[in-house]
Amino acid sequence: MGMAGFWAIESGEIRFGKDGRWYSDSEPIENPRIADLFSRHLVQREDGQWWILMGDERAQVVIEDTPWVVARVDGNGPHGFTIGLNDGTAEALDPETLTLSAEHVLSGRAKQGQHRVRFLRAPQIELLSHAIEENGQFFLPGPDQRRWILPDAGAS
């Protein structure tokens, strides 16, 4: 089992998977407090590398897909939606940033639009339960207009 903790975060590879879980030396970090701590202390340096920085402790992180994932969706179309990220923050969903990959994974932008975030399965299902299909395309009804969910530009 990987030694992910306060005393040894530098000792092995730490990875944030596209499944929204933290890993240490390819083993899932099962302790939710450690996973939450890592998510809250994740920073990107000027060179683009991701690190966990906690006091004197630091460890480089491998990010498989996105640095944060949407863990919760609240709200409704007429009043808008709020997304809760895995680092404990919440913000208004910008529906104009939503894309759907060829693998049918929903993503959008968060952190003041600076970062792409991937939706975990349950919040994706919750959000898409509000979507309306029209001629093979989907949109979210909004307080002022329709917000189309676009195919990911990289999708084939």
87 and 33 assigned to the same domain: no
CA distance 147 to 88: 26
* Contact (CB, 8 A) for 115 and 66: yes
Confidence of residue 111 (pLDDT cuts 50, 70, 90): very high
- Tally the domains of the chain: 2
Where would I find the H helices in 12-66?
32-40
142 and 86 assigned to the same domain: yes
Which strands, in side-by-side order, build the sheet including 14-16?
27-28, 22-24, 14-16, 57-63, 50-54, 42-44
Q: Which domain holds residue 30?
A: 14-63
**pLDDT reading at 125 higher than 80:** yes
In a domain, 26, yes or no: yes
85 and 105 assigned to the same domain: yes
77 and 133 assigned to the same domain: yes
**pLDDT reading at 5 higher than 60:** no
Q: How many CA atoms lie within 13 A of 7 on its CB side?
A: 1
Length of the chain: 156
pTM for the structure as a whole: 0.82
Give residue 46's pLDDT. 95
What rounded mean pLDDT belongs to the chain? 87
108, two tokens: 């959008």
In a domain, 2, yes or no: no
57 and 75 assigned to the same domain: no
What would the pLDDT profile of 35-92 be if each residue is shown by its tens digit? 999 999 999 999 999 999 998 889 999 999 999 999 999 998 778 899 999 999 999 9
86 and 127 assigned to the same domain: yes
CA distance 54 to 22: 16
Strands (E), 8-49: 14-16, 22-24, 27-28, 42-44
